[in-house]
Amino acid sequence: SQQGEEDPQALSIQEGENATMNCSYKTSINNLQWYRQNSGRGLVHLILIRSNEREKHSGRLRVTLDTSKKSSSLLITASRAADTASYFCATVGEGGKLIFGQGTELSVKP
Amino acid sequence: EAQVTQNPRYLITVTGKKLTVTCSQNMNHEYMSWYRQDPGLGLRQIYYSMNVEVTDKGDVPEGYKVSRKEKRNFPLILESPSPNQTSLYFCASSLGTRAFFGQGTRLTVV
C-alpha cells in the first residue's frame, strides 16, 4: 500500500534554481525519510526527520515536516544537473516496512 | 564499505524456469526486504525478514518465496516465473529505520 503521495510527479528546472517536492502521508509517524534514485539504480537515503522536528538541513537539502497536515517537503537549493533523479518520501509502517510515495521525477537542465 | 549486493543485475528468462536472485549485506542488519518497482505502481514490498528464520509476506508476495538461513543473505526465489513478474527488483537491509538498497535486478520473463 502506498501511504505517501508526492507532488509534483515530475519537475523540470534549470541549473541553479531551487526544486521543491512535497509529500503527504496518511497515518501517524515517528519519522519520515527521503530517498533519491538515479535512473534504474538503487535508492539512496538522503535525510530523516523525526516527528518532533519541524525542519532539518543537510548540505543543499532542506526538509520540513508538518505533522498536523501530515505533509513534508524537500527543497534542493542551487540545483545541479547531477541532481537529476527521482525522489521518494518514505514512512515506516507495520513490522518496520518502509512505505514509499510514488516519487517526484526531477530533471535539472544545464 | 557498507553495502547490499544483488545478483544478477540483469536477467532474461522464460516462463516457468525457476530462478533465484541473491542478496547479501555486510552490515549485520537484522531486517531485510525485497521490493519490486513498476511504472505507475511505485515500490511495493514483496517479502521481509526481521531476523534469521523469520520471514513474512509484504504487499505482493504471490509467486515469490524467500529464505533467511543466515543473517547476511536473503535470496528471492521465483519457482515458476511468469511475464507479470517482469520488473525491477530491489533488496534492502536496515537497522532501525534507515534502509540500504542494492543496485537492483532487472528481470524480464518472456
Q: Model confidence over A56-109: pLDDT tens digits?
A: 999 999 999 999 999 999 999 999 999 999 999 999 887 778 888 889 999 999
Tens digit of each residue's pLDDT (9 = 90 or more) over A20-70? 999 999 888 999 999 999 988 999 999 999 999 999 999 999 999 999 999
Residue B14's pLDDT is 97
Chain A residues whose C-beta is within 8 A of a chain B C-beta are 1-2, 30-31, 33, 35, 40-45, 48, 88, 90, 92, 95-98, 100-103
Quote the CA–CA distance of B100 and B95 in Å, as a whole number: 9
* Cβ separation A102–B42 shorter than 8 A: yes
Find, in chain A, the residue whose alpha carbon is nearest to that of B30. Answer: A96
Residue A84's pLDDT is 97
* Cβ separation A96–B31 shorter than 8 A: yes
**Closest CA relative to residue B78, chosen from B9, B21, B10, B14:** B21
For residue A85, CA distances in Å to A35, A56, B41, B98 come to 10, 21, 17, 19
Sheet bearing B19-25, strands edge to edge: B4-7, B19-25, B76-78, B65-66
DSSP 8-state symbol, B73 = B
